[in-house]
Structure 1
């Protein structure tokens, strides 16, 4: 049991939302730069798709961070004393920005050192994410968990708009180095609301629970969440792994892809996150997750047609890309992460939530590597058809997994605040 010190009042939900929201945006700036921005840049350099797929190796720290999450949580939540989230977040943010500065000195054509830098950046940001998730779940009262859910999903799309949208526009206008250095400054600035807000007032407590992987894996909710993540992420993310290179090959330039990513993430993605929360409250997580997959299947088959015909107008292709990568995905992942938040143990939320996210990252990495190989050898049409097939198989599996798992009322409220 955790006993909060009476002298340490709980920060307001709005303050926590702004603080952790900034951290989630910063993480997604780097994620958008890596997963969406860099592949498009590499394609303009003439790199083959199978080499571009190697970018997904940078997800490895996110897939393995469960290995050090108990140690991070034990440092962050000592048996007696103040919460140390601010220490982890400050150190990780500074190190990530420093590595981005180094990355700016390297040209994108030097793929091996670029990937090495991005792996280190992912190591720092994934460690920060452990502290950020744990802080959000434990600090927000249950009725305000929706603030954390909205900050996480909505913040990811705002960050992606910057990292995959504004970044590409900067690369097109100013070149690689200035664009990457600008992103480093953005990452540092986004950490300030936490470090100057709730991070300045760490809560003192006495804690009897020792966070551990064993305690997490003993809980049936965690085991079910891992299976849910594996099924859903493979169906929802694999088909979009080559979207950036596909748009470049279809004739879009970097600035156009950047504007598409930026507007799509900022407007459609954030709006989809809010709409997804409303749907979860009205329909439940199961219906929203299955509905999002059905929409994704239709989108992937449309992409397969575009890849085969090659004569679909660019505005239609752009609308399709925004709707699939931002709108449909946002709706589905709000439901997914609302469910995860309800299944996480507040005494070790950083560990439990990390396990769910590691499965997400591991499946994303495997799909990204396979996507580049398939697209390079068989073309985009075959790739999108295969991705649609994965989603079709996932629908009945997801329905069976959640057949007897009705979303608790508290979790439904969390998704909508």
Structure 2
């Protein structure tokens, strides 16, 4: 077995040596996904950890739900994305200048937080908001770089590996980071996070030449001086894409974002939620990213989406059953599976978004597709947290299953297009 594995590894290395396109695309994905890991870490801390800790401390669901507002900058990036397309910073390249600057600001902000444990909650919230804005802005430039340097035949692989990178980051931020913060202490935990984000910046610097119009025709065709969100909104086809994508996200993400609160309500210990859901959830997304590549290749985007939608539907039934009968195991399995199902659907959507954004204003278009849908889904998650106490988790998941069923029909035409 070891000999066979060694031969496979040597064969892959030989293929990369004699296939420049494979070597270049592998280098591109490595550089991009290193930063997506860091992005996932920050998202995991904001989205997966704090609401759960607050709920475990006895704070009601509605109050805990307001912490998701810290997630809003991720959904508002479309407001300043045209600036990223229009302005080039006076160092590195058009995209890398923004990436390095914003990641550096985030690292500095986290280091400041590490040495201010006793600061007021308002001050810490302001620092946290600034860090999230910097990371979100870095993500705009990173996505624009991805649109420009990823070749069309690698888009499905890129969207799947992006999910894998985000899953690893979410596992670190929403699982390991939260579970170990009490052991390591405030200062050490945040300094480790700052160091990790700094380290993950290094691989993308090797892509500088690919972000140069002298070597990349797609960069040369950019007309970023007139980048505008209204350019996208004026086109009926693009508006319809954006509308359907936003509706889909508003249905999917509340079903994923609130499941840990449900587990607290049925008595699952906070440690189990942090280690089991916080770890197995992202691991299930890693499996999804690996499975989605051959699925999309051999079954196509539409059939692949139906497979993941079926998984999400079964997961909702499991969570409703687990809540109704206070069955911890079934509820946890459902909480993990819903993340895998929704992630699979989003990989397929992301594959389309890369192609949709390959125009003259990639940062603006990509941020609009991701940001507006993310903004809408964040508000819907906050609203859902206010609604759950008025009904119950069983009815919430039943309504979610019906909405998911309707969403699939809405997306069939959008995903089936060849544009």
> In 2 relative to 1, CA 132–332 (structure 1 residues): closer, same or farther, beyond 3 Å?
same
Instruction: Tell me whether 1:140 sits opposite 2:150 in the alignment.
Output: yes
Instruction: Tell me whether 1:319 sits opposite 2:319 in the alignment.
Output: no
TM-score (norm 2): 0.84
User: Contact between 2:306 and 2:408, CA under 8 Å: does it hold in 1?
Assistant: yes
Residue of structure 2 aligned with 1:285, choices 301, 305, 323: 301
User: 1:227 — aligned with what?
Assistant: 243
CA distance in 2, matches of 1:101, 1:248: 31
User: 2:409 — aligned with what?
Assistant: 396
Residues 152-171 of structure 1 show CA distances to partners (whole Å, capped at 9, x for unaligned) of 22211111111111112212
User: Contact between 2:315 and 2:333, CA under 8 Å: does it hold in 1?
Assistant: no
Q: Which runs of 5+ in 1 are unaligned?
A: 1-8, 412-417
Q: Which runs of 5+ in 2 are unaligned?
A: 1-19, 215-219
Instruction: Tell me whether 1:13 sits opposite 2:25 in the alignment.
Output: yes
Comparing 150-159 with 82-91, greater Cα deviation is found at 82-91
CA distance in 1, matches of 2:263, 2:358: 42
User: 1:162 — aligned with what?
Assistant: 172
Residue of structure 2 aligned with 1:349, choices 356, 362, 365: 362
Q: Which residues of 2 match residues 118-129 of structure 1 at below 5 A? A: 118-129=128-139
> In 2 relative to 1, CA 379–209 (structure 1 residues): closer, same or farther, beyond 3 Å?
same
User: 2:58 — aligned with what?
Assistant: 46
Q: Which residues of 2 match residues 296-375 of structure 1 at below 5 A? A: 296-310=312-326, 312=327, 314-325=328-339, 327-375=340-388
Q: Which residues of 2 match residues 194-209 of structure 1 at below 5 A? A: 194-195=204-205, 197-199=206-208, 202-205=211-214, 206=220, 209=223
Q: Which residues of 2 match residues 244-255 of structure 1 at below 5 A? A: 244-255=260-271
- Aligned-pair CA distance for 1:18: 0.9
User: 1:381 — aligned with what?
Assistant: 394
Q: Which residues of 2 match residues 261-280 of structure 1 at below 5 A? A: 261-280=277-296
> In 2 relative to 1, CA 226–285 (structure 1 residues): closer, same or farther, beyond 3 Å?
same
> In 2 relative to 1, CA 397–207 (structure 1 residues): closer, same or farther, beyond 3 Å?
closer
- Aligned-pair CA distance for 1:70: 1.1
- Aligned-pair CA distance for 1:286: 2.7
TM-score (norm 1): 0.84
> In 2 relative to 1, CA 330–248 (structure 1 residues): closer, same or farther, beyond 3 Å?
same
> In 2 relative to 1, CA 77–98 (structure 1 residues): closer, same or farther, beyond 3 Å?
closer
> In 2 relative to 1, CA 147–391 (structure 1 residues): closer, same or farther, beyond 3 Å?
closer
User: 2:75 — aligned with what?
Assistant: 63
CA distance in 1, matches of 2:117, 2:306: 42
- Runs of at least 4 residues of structure 1 off by over 6 A? 106-110
Residues 217-259 of structure 1 show CA distances to partners (whole Å, capped at 9, x for unaligned) of 3445532321231122122211122122222333333432222
Residues 93-117 of structure 1 show CA distances to partners (whole Å, capped at 9, x for unaligned) of 1211233334445669976544433
CA distance in 2, matches of 1:120, 1:252: 33
- Higher RCO structure (Cα 8 Å, ≥6 apart): 1
